[in-house]
Chains A and B, each alone.
Chain A
Amino acid sequence: DADVTQTPRNRITKTGKRIMLECSQTKGHDRMYWYRQDPGLGLQLIYYSFDVKDINKGEISDGYSVSRQAQAKFSLSLESAIPNQTALYFCATSDPRRSSYNEQFFGPGTRLTVL
């Protein structure tokens, strides 16, 4: 969905490096999410935010942190990357007031490889 953008799209980094993945949306949605996808494991929720002042941990938040800089921007940071954080990362938005219940709108994903 072009309304949700992620940068970078691909990133290769080394163990111990700090990495930031950025997400921007033009949908005007209040809710934003970060998911991680590993082969055979589906999507796992890392963090979610219901507005600028609201940040919540998901299922697998250890090793990650987030920042909601504005309604439209939600960043995910890996403070010290490790190889098992190699995965496909997705940002998503939703707004139950505007769309069907909690329908999620996904960005194109960031493929992160930690060597």
Chain B
Amino acid sequence: SQQGEEDPQALSIQEGENATMNCSYKTSINNLQWYRQNSGRGLVHLILIRSNEREKHSGRLRVTLDTSKKSSSLLITASRAADTASYFCATDGGYQKVTFGIGTKLQVIP
């Protein structure tokens, strides 16, 4: 079964708006990662947040982590059409492999 579950499963916004995706997980983690997948292609690592961190930024990306609620969010600010992709959270529970969620499909309309 999947460790992470993203919400919403699909999101459509206008260019320039912010996009927020959420991820919930079930067991304790060492870190949580977000990946991006363009249609039919391999996943690309975006950002990693450790279990002792609450927030992290990278360019237009902002990730938060609430270990008490077992949840994370990915915020993409000032979205662009090129941000259209699927976004996956992946949890690393320290068992030397990561577990991926089912993803959020983001469409940014020009």
A-side interface residues toward B, CB under 8 Å?
A: 1, 4, 31, 33, 35, 40-43, 45, 48, 50, 58-59, 88, 90, 92, 100-109, 111
Contact = CB atoms under 8 A, between A and B. Distances in A.
Nearest to B4: A42
A42 B102 contact: yes
25 contacts: A1-B42, A4-B42, A31-B96, A33-B97, A40-B9, A42-B2, A42-B101, A42-B103, A43-B43, A43-B88, A43-B100, A90-B43, A100-B48, A101-B31, A101-B48, A101-B50, A102-B31, A102-B92, A102-B96, A102-B97, A102-B98, A103-B33, A106-B43, A107-B42, A109-B42
Contacts of A35: 100
A4 B44 CA distance: 12
B92 A109 contact: no
B104 to A, nearest CB: 10
Interface of B: 1-2, 9, 30-31, 33, 35, 40-45, 48, 50, 88, 90, 92, 96-103
Contacts of B101: 42
A24 B46 CA distance: 23
A48 B97 CA distance: 8
Nearest to A90: B42
B40 A104 contact: no
Contacts of B97: 33, 45, 48, 58, 102
A41 B45 contact: no
The 8 tightest CB contacts between A and B, nearest first, are: A106-B42, A42-B102, A43-B100, A106-B43, A102-B92, A103-B45, A42-B100, A108-B42
